[in-house]
Amino acid sequence: MKAFLRWFLPDTLVGRTVVVLLVGLLLSQVAGVILYSMSRMELVNRLSSEGAEHIAGVVKVFEATPEADRHRIIRAMERPGLRIGWDRNPLIATGDGEYSGLSVIQDELNKRLPGYEMHVSMGRLPPMPPSDMDGRLDHRMAHGPEPLPDFHFDHQPSSPPGEGFESPPAPGIGPGRRPHPPVVAVHLPDGGWLNFVADVPFEEPLLRPRFFGPLTGGLLVVMVLSVLAVRRAAKPLALLAAAAQRLGRDVNAPQMPLSGPREVRAAALAFNEMQTRLRRFVEDRTQMVAAISHDLRTPITRLKLRAEFVDDDEQRVKMLSDLDEMEAMISSTLAFARDDATREKRRPFDFALTLAELCVEFDAGYEGPESLTVTAGLSGFKRTFANLLDNARKYGCDVQVVLASDAGMVTVRVMDAGPGIPEAEMDRVFAPFYRVESSRNRDTGGTGLGLSVARSVIRAHGGDITLANRPEGGLCVTVVFPA
């Protein structure tokens, strides 16, 4: 079931809402059609039963009336919507029960007129003569029967003169477009036929072409309006997702606008409050680390002064070296905590030119375009790639830099021919103060913060840094970020 729903329902909120609305509208239309059909069928059956009762009464009265007075009986027994004719032949040769109303009439007549031959069908009457299509017939449709001149069936020239009729066109249906009206022909014991014709057909196919037009039009209108309405309603969700992405890269990103429905405004307000608390937390942490680092510099300076008075030259040198290392670690920690590059104002600059100049400075090969403009913090990027090139030169050799740009994303690969890094250490080297002891130690310099700061800067710009050992030997550092 879940697999079917995943296949049937679109992946977007807009698509799913539109599908639900369309399915609901379609089901309501189908339910309405079913209810209408049931009530219509009930009405048709009731009218058919009443009509059959009236026809049976006409037949019995007609039989009991002398032949000379039968034409008056016909006119007296007619009523709006029903025409009665007396002839030697039936209007229809056979009967059918295609429609439910006809079967009801047939059953009722069989009960009320047992032993009579009768035909019940949707008759195909010939076109009405123009002489009969005048205002008198329209008047009879509206006001009931009135004395009319006798006329005969043109399609039965062999019939002798008698009481006949032609049914007028149904309201709203002109000549040549008459529907097939219900026809009942009852064979009388004296050999004649009483023909009954309704002025309009009492039943038509329910699922006719004109039914699908409004349904299709309604579905299209609902679909268009639903797409517009749901897109507008879902737009704040897209803004919330974008704001979350910005917050993940930079806690100082612009806050969400407080607009839209009440629930959306409440969500935006909660998100902005969360961002404010995160920013305050980072600022408090930065101030605390900066204060600690600043306070530690004073005793370190005093220790350096005291170390100058140590008589043992070897011990004095070692003490000063340790103090210098402590001061370097404090400075690196302060830079990492403040992370000024992530708050640096971003502006467009020629990144290809800047990277090429760094390659010259660190004696690395460069391959890429001569010019490539990106929008970023210049000093943070220079410090990041200077750190990567410095690591490659210290712990490897034959450093090569490849710059490429595709679909709005910039890719930089810094490759060396050194020993590389064990696979188990790939993720750990980004942790603050972590160093791979086999290749990075205090004699060669470094506090283990370079890669941490570099990744922090790149991620603040929406990118990332990954490491991989090269098959031919050495390490490849891949930096990807949006232009």
Can you give the CATH number for the domain in which 373 is found?
3.30.565.10
Distance CA 308, CA 298 (A): 16
Task: Give a yes or no: residue 165 inside a domain.
Answer: yes
Does a structural domain hold residue 301? yes
Residue 296 CA to its chain's centroid (Å): 59
Q: Which residues contact 102 (CB under 8 A, 6 or more apart)?
A: 48, 95, 96, 120, 121, 122, 182
Residues 51 and 193 occupy one common structural domain: yes
What pLDDT band is residue 2 in, cutting at 50, 70 and 90? low
Is residue 24 scored above 70 in pLDDT? Answer: yes
Q: Write the secondary structure of 248-296 as one string of H (helix), E (strand) and C (coil).
A: HHCCCCCCCCCCCCHHHHHHHHHHHHHHHHHHHHHHHHHHHHHHHHHHH
Residue 207 included in any domain: no
Same domain, 36 and 149: yes
The confidence band for 175, taking pLDDT boundaries of 50, 70 and 90, is very low
Mean pLDDT for 458-469 is 88
Question: Which parts of 174-208 fold into alpha helices (H)?
Answer: none
User: Where does the pLDDT of residue 5 fall: very low under 50, low under 70, confident under 90, or very high at 90 and above?
Assistant: low
What are the pLDDT digits (tens) for 182-221? 888 898 888 888 888 876 555 555 556 666 777 788 778 8
Q: Are residues 291 and 323 in the same domain?
A: yes
Asked whether 402 and 368 are in contact (CB, 8 A), the reply is yes
Q: What angle do CA 212, 217, 218 make, to 5 degrees?
A: 100
pTM: 0.48
328/360 same-domain check: no
Whole domain around residue 330: which residue ranges?
A: 241-338
- In angstroms, the CA 116 to CA 105 distance is 14
My answer on whether 31 and 162 are in the same domain is: yes
Q: Check whether residue 188 and residue 249 sit in a common domain.
A: no
Q: What is the pLDDT of residue 481?
A: 92
At 131, is the pLDDT very low, low, confident or very high (cuts 50, 70, 90)?
very low
- For residue 281, what pLDDT is reported? 84
pLDDT given at position 369: 92
pLDDT value, residue 442: 47
- Percent of the chain at pLDDT above 70? 75
Between CA 71 and CA 339 the distance in angstroms is 111
Q: For residue 372, what pLDDT band results from cuts at 50, 70 and 90?
A: very high
Are 315 and 354 contained in the same domain? no
Same domain for 330 and 395, yes or no, is no
The predicted pLDDT at position 101 comes to 63
Decide which of 307, 338, 369 is a domain's last residue.
Answer: 338
* Paired strand residues for 403: 412
pLDDT at 335: 66
The residue out of 134, 168, 198 marking a domain boundary is 198
Residues 247 and 177 both lie in one domain: no
Domain boundary among 311, 338, 365: 338
Residue 364 within a domain: yes
Between residues 361 and 11, the one the model is more confident about = 361
Is residue 424 classed exposed, middle or buried when 0-12, 13-18 and 19+ CB atoms within 10 A define those classes? exposed
- Determine, yes or no, domain membership for 2: no
Mean pLDDT over each residue of the chain, to the nearest integer = 76
pLDDT reported for residue 148: 33
Q: How many CB atoms lie within 10 A of CB 96?
A: 13
Query: What is the pLDDT confidence band of residue 82, given thresholds at 50, 70 and 90?
Result: confident
Percentage with pLDDT > 90 across the chain: 13
Rounded to an integer, the average pLDDT of 437-454 is: 61
Number of domains in the chain: 3
pLDDT given for residue 152 in this prediction: 37
Q: How far apart are the first and last CA of the chain?
A: 44
pLDDT digits (tens, 9 = 90+) for 273-297: 998 998 888 777 777 777 777 778 7
Is 435 among the domain residues? yes
- Would 228 be classed as within a structural domain? no
Do 176 and 269 lie in one domain? The reply is no
Q: Is residue 328 part of a domain?
A: yes
Does the pLDDT value for residue 67 go beyond 80? yes
Give the chain's largest Cα–Cα span.
Answer: 158
**CA dist 184 → 164, 225, 405 (Å):** 14, 51, 86
Residue type, 405: S
pLDDT digits (tens, 9 = 90+) for 323-342: 887 887 777 677 666 655 45
Q: 403 versus 299: which is more confidently predicted?
A: 403
Residue 254 sits in a domain whose CATH number is 1.10.287.130
Q: Are residues 316 and 274 in the same domain?
A: yes
Is it the case that residue 403 has pLDDT exceeding 90?
Answer: yes
Q: How confident is the model at residue 23 (pLDDT cuts 50, 70, 90)?
A: confident
Provide the 10 A C-beta neighbour count for residue 106.
20
Q: How much is the average pLDDT of 248-268?
A: 82
Q: Which of 90-94, 117-121, 358-362, 406-410 has the lowest mean pLDDT?
A: 90-94
Dist. CA 243–CA 275, nearest whole Å: 10
| Mean pLDDT of all residues in 403-409 | 90
DSSP codes of every residue in 232-246? HHHHHHHHHHHHHHH
Q: Say whether both 312 and 387 belong to one domain.
A: no
